[in-house]
Amino acid sequence: MAKVLHSTNCFNALIRVAEDCPAQRGEEPQPRGGQPTVAVLQYRMIAGSPYEYTSDDVVCATSAAGR
Torsion sign, CA atoms 19, 21, 24, 25: negative
For residue 5, the 8-state DSSP code is: P
Is residue 20 scored above 90 in pLDDT? yes
pTM for the complete prediction?
0.74
For residue 12, the 8-state DSSP code is: S
Would you list the DSSP string of 14-67?
Answer: -----TT---SS------BTTB--HHHHHHHHHHHSTTTS-HHHHHHHHHTTT-
Q: What is the mean pLDDT of residues 44-54?
A: 94
pLDDT of residue 3: 74
Is residue 29 scored above 70 in pLDDT? yes
pLDDT of residue 67: 55
